[in-house]
Structure 1
Amino acid sequence: MKIIVPMAGRGSRLRPHTLTVPKPLIPVAGKPIVHRLVEDIAKVLNQPIEEVAFVIHESFGATVEKDLLAIATKIGAKGTIYYQNEALGTGHAIMCAKDSLSGPAVIAYADTLIRADFDLDQNADSVIWVKQVDQPEAFGVINVNEKNEIVELVEKPKEFVSDLAVIGIYYFKDVAVLKNELQAVLDNNIIHGGEYQINDGIKQMMAKGMIFVPGQVDEWMDCGNKDVTVDTNSRMLNFLHKDGENLVAANVRIENSTIIPPCYIGEDVILINSTVGPNVSLGKATHVTNVKIKNSLVQTHAHIRNANLDNAMIGNHATFDGEFKSISIGDYSVLE
């Protein structure tokens, strides 16, 4: 089994946090989004992972590439890096990894996290994972027949088709078939919205009689913008807390402070005269003094003083001293 992770986008909706760090490497509950995604997929597949192929922008740099390869190594797989330097769509991103597109594979876009427990349908040519949503008109959705086979993919339907939204995770019994169909999409310049889309390859597979079935996840957590990323951090903290994970590093320095779980508190964090939690992540070496903070996500080496924060997201090496509550400040910002 292979895992293909297209992640070349910089994440403009999550700025300023993605100006210096690619969105899939933003930490949620103390671990980068893409790291959690790959580990969670490997866990639910419950079979050896041969390779993890990451499709990134060349500008991400050597440090990011090293971190990504380490993720693959951690689950016992070979790590491979491919580049997509032009934003030409989901189909184009997958084809940037064409040398790895053979055999059984999961394709997963790195801006979403899941909680799931499932078995792959061995009789299907492909599985498209979906989640029931309240506003299907905002998503791509599937339509199924009486056999629970997917017969239609509709992007942001104006009229009701179904409430099962595609979450961006796919399984292919032989991903080389998708590669061949996407090559035809590229060769024939089949473009929607100025981009080559995975759905056009999938539709061609369906037209040739291949069987697609839906898979459902228990939880689908988006990381598209600041508010939903903070919410995803809170939800993930609660899941990990219920799983019994220890989320507080052993060397946290606590002076006249209280931690209300669930919280992730990284190594070398200092808490002075503060109340932290619930639903807070504090990255490594963050210093918090005279602060009340809940439902917030703080990255590494930040300094926060004299604040009352709720629904806040603070970047690496940022300094904040003030009375605002719901804030979003990027790396190396200073507000005093």
Structure 2
Amino acid sequence: MKIIVPMAGIGSRLRPHTLTVPKPLTVIAGKPIVQRLVEDIASVIDEKIDEIAFVIGSVAKGFPTDTEEKLLKIAKELGAKGSVYIQDEALGTAHAIYMAKESLSGPCVVAYADTLFKADFTLDVNADGAIWVSKVDNPSAFGVVKVQDGFITDFIEKPKDFVSDLAIIGIYYFKSGEKLLEEIQYLIDNDLKENNEYQLTNVLESLKQQGAKFIPGTVSAWMDCGKKDPTVDTNKQTLGFEYAAGKNLVSSDVVLNNSQIIQPCYVGKNVVLTDTKIGPYVSIGENSVVTNSTIVNSLIQTNVTISNANLNNAMIGNYATYNAKYSSVSIGDYTELT
């Protein structure tokens, strides 16, 4: 099994945090978003992952030079071969997959790296394909599917009138990577664009018309990492899942000086807390120092210094310094707010 991860977007909605770190490498509860994504997929597929192919933007598009190294490390830790491809121009969802054409063979999962999920089903790898979906309150904002007798019958992009509340979350399984590539190649060769882009929904429709049967993969939780507030909420939900599973996310070398940690929380190595209460639902990265503060429901990255703060729904980047009276803040890497 292979996993293809298109992640070439610059993540402008999550700025300033994505000015220095690509959105899929943003750390949630101690792990990068993309690492959590591929781990969740591996648990649903229940098969050995042979290769993980990442499609990223170029350095000129704002991707740091060490991005490839970090991604290859993630693949290696999952026991898979890592491959990295560059998409210089954003030409749609199908085009992003096409950039990884050398890896499109055999069964594969395509997962766009701006969402996390929890699933309570096991994928039937004998199906022609599967599309992960989640029930939503406002279907008109999403691509949705209609289902009959356990199979997907229609794909509708942002319907104006209600046809279904099952939204496509951006994760797909294809039994044949070769067939997927063939259909994308047909779009590109014939310049079949929609809104000036090559869309994966057109590929899915073509495969369906040729007889491919797609099943819906339902999820119990769908967590967005597009903007600051949803990302903080994703951190909260992830901490809740990890704690419920019995995982201890507090490093053994954390120094507590007249301080308290209210679970669930993630606290990295070499963190020092003095006259401070954190939690619930707080992540603090390694080598951070927090003094005389109260922090709840917040995502704090590594090497951060916080003093005299009362934070709630905050997101603070790496190597930042914070000593101010605001509560719900969003500051990026190397920022000082005092």
SS of equivalent to 2:161:
coil
* 2:90 corresponds to which of 67, 87, 90: 87
Could you tell me how far apart the structure 1 residues matched to 2:93 and 2:189 are?
Answer: 16
Aligned length: 335
Match of 1:208 in 2: 210
TM-fit CA distance, 1:217: 1.2
Q: List per-residue Cα deviations over 1:94-122 (Å, max 9, x = no partner).
A: 00000110100000111111111322224
How far the C-alpha of 1:123 sits from its partner, in A, is: 4.3
- Structure 2 distance, partners of 1:48, 1:304, is 43
1:13 aligns with 2:16: no
Inter-partner Cα distance in structure 1 for 2:65 and 2:19: 17
For the 8 Å contact 2:126–2:175, the answer to whether it is kept is no
**Aligned equivalent of 2:306, options 300, 304, 307:** 304
- Structure 1 Cα separation of the partners of residues 298 and 279 of structure 2: 8
Aligned to 1:131: 134
Deviations for 1:138-169, whole angstroms, at most 9, x for unmatched residues? 11100123x22112111111100101010111
The one-letter amino acid paired with 1:172 is F
Q: How does 1:24-173 map to 2 (within 5 A)?
A: 24-59=24-59, 60-145=63-148, 147-173=149-175
One-letter amino acid matched to 1:133: V
CA distance in 2, matches of 1:188, 1:294: 53
Matching of residue 244 in structure 1 with residue 253 in structure 2? no
1:235 partner amino acid: Q
C-alpha distance in 2 between matches for 1:168 and 1:4: 12
The answer as to whether partners of 2:147 and 2:153 remain within 8 angstroms in 1 is yes
Q: Distance in 2 between matches of 1:226 and 1:193?
A: 28
Q: Structure 1: how far apart are the matches of 2:88 and 2:133?
A: 29
**What value does the CA root-mean-square deviation take over the aligned residues?**
1.0
Alignment pair present for 1:222 and 2:244: no
Q: Secondary structure at the match of 1:281?
A: strand
Q: Which string of whole-angstrom CA distances, capped at 9 and with x for unpartnered residues, describes residues 267-311 of structure 1? A: 111111111000000011111111111000011111111111100
1:208-262 Cα distance to aligned partner (Å, 9 max, x none): 1111111111111110100000000000001000111111011111111111100
Match of 2:279 among 277, 280, 283: 277
Q: Percent identity?
A: 57
For 1:173, the aligned partner's letter is: K
Q: Which residue of 2 aligns with 1:286?
A: 288
CA distance in 2, matches of 1:122, 1:269: 44
Q: What's the secondary structure of 1:5's corresponding residue?
A: strand
Task: Give the Cα separation in 2 of the matches to 1:211 and 1:205.
Answer: 8
SS in 2 for 1:142: strand
TM-score by length of 1: 0.98
Q: Is the 8 A contact 2:44 2:123 kept in 1?
A: no
Distance in structure 1 (CA, Å) of the matches to 2:158 and 2:273: 46
Paired residue type of 1:50: D
**CA separation in 2, counterparts of 1:287 and 1:116?**
36
Which runs of 5 or more structure 2 residues have no equivalent in the other structure? none
Matching residue of 1:181: 183
The one-letter code of the counterpart of 2:89 is: E
What is the alpha-carbon distance in structure 2 between the residues aligned to residue 326 and residue 123 of structure 1? 47
Structure 1's unaligned 5+ residue stretches are none
Structure-to-structure mapping, 1:304-323, within 5 angstroms? 304-323=306-325
What amino acid is the match of 2:223?
M
Q: Is the 8 A contact 2:54 2:71 kept in 1?
A: yes
Query: In 1, distance between residues paired with 2:267 and 2:254?
Result: 7
SS in 2 for 1:18: helix
- Tell me the SS of whatever aligns to 1:124: coil
